[in-house]
Every structure is written in structure tokens, then in C-alpha cells.
Copies of this chain bind each other. A is one copy, B any other.
Amino acid sequence: MSEAPAQALARLVGETLFAHDVASNDTMGMVLLACEPGRAVMRMVVKELHLNGHQICHGGFIFTLADSTFAFACNSHNKNAVAAGCSIDFLKPGKLGDVLTCEGIEQTLNGRHGIYDMKVTNQSGEVIAMFRGKSAQIPGTVIPE
């Protein structure tokens, strides 16, 4: 597919998936900033609902932000893809009011299997977490071809 149609398709895939994603959208309060071929950007503001017993953002929700970004990036080619495994390293805590931005980039896509790297930063540009996800494509498309 040439550049412009691939971009338009990725954007449509992103909007479609996000519209039905109660978890990312309603529950977590994420915003989808970009969905391009092999790349996505999402944002989430840390609110009271995200805080754990140490009164910092639950690491699971930082993971969830990265995992959603991963999902958009690896589905951006309009071939259904699921996460097979992920790893995350936590570098700094997320605090109440922090604006967390996650950028996800495709590192390799080899047949059905891809590797994607997500980086979560705060409003000061500090790296909060780094996440690597492995995807597996499954039959079907996100939107009808």
C-alpha cells in the first residue's frame, strides 16, 4: 500500500478500535493522539482513581497505557493482532496530576510476529517506563477490507 492510503487506513483503524475500547477510554481516561502504520501515541493524566496504596500511579495502569498504545500500533496495518507477551521496566513513579505520554514504535514485523517498543514519559520529558511487546497476528481485520 502506498504512503497516504496506509496512513488513512491506520487512522481509521485506530479510531474504530478506540471507539469500542471501554477500558482505555472510559475506565482509564486515555486519549489516542496518533495511529499511523506501525506507530501510535496515547496520553493519560494520573488521577485519584489511578493511585495505589503508596499514593502513586499503580504500575499496572502505566503498563495499561503502554499496552493500549502497543495494541494500536500493532493493529495499525488492519490485520488483527494480539499481545503474546510483554515486559516493562519502571524507572520513575507517576504522580497525581502527571501527564503521561506513551509513544509506541514497531521495531520489527516478521511474518505474523512483531516486536514493538513503547516509552512512557511525563510532562517534563522524564522516562517513566519502557515496555516491549511481542504481537501475533490472528485471522481477520479490524475494519472490513
Contact = CB atoms under 8 A, between A and B. Distances in A.
Contacts of A88: 85-87
The main secondary structure of chain A at its interface with chain B is mixed
Contacts of A83: 59, 90
Contact of A107 (B17, B63, B130): B130
Copies in the complex: 4
Contacts of A57: 23
B87 A85 contact: yes
Interface residues of A, number: 53
Interface string A45-58: 00011111111011
Please give me the 6 A-B residue pairs with the lowest Cβ-Cβ distance, nearest first. Answer: A60-B64, A23-B58, A87-B87, A21-B53, A17-B53, A60-B67
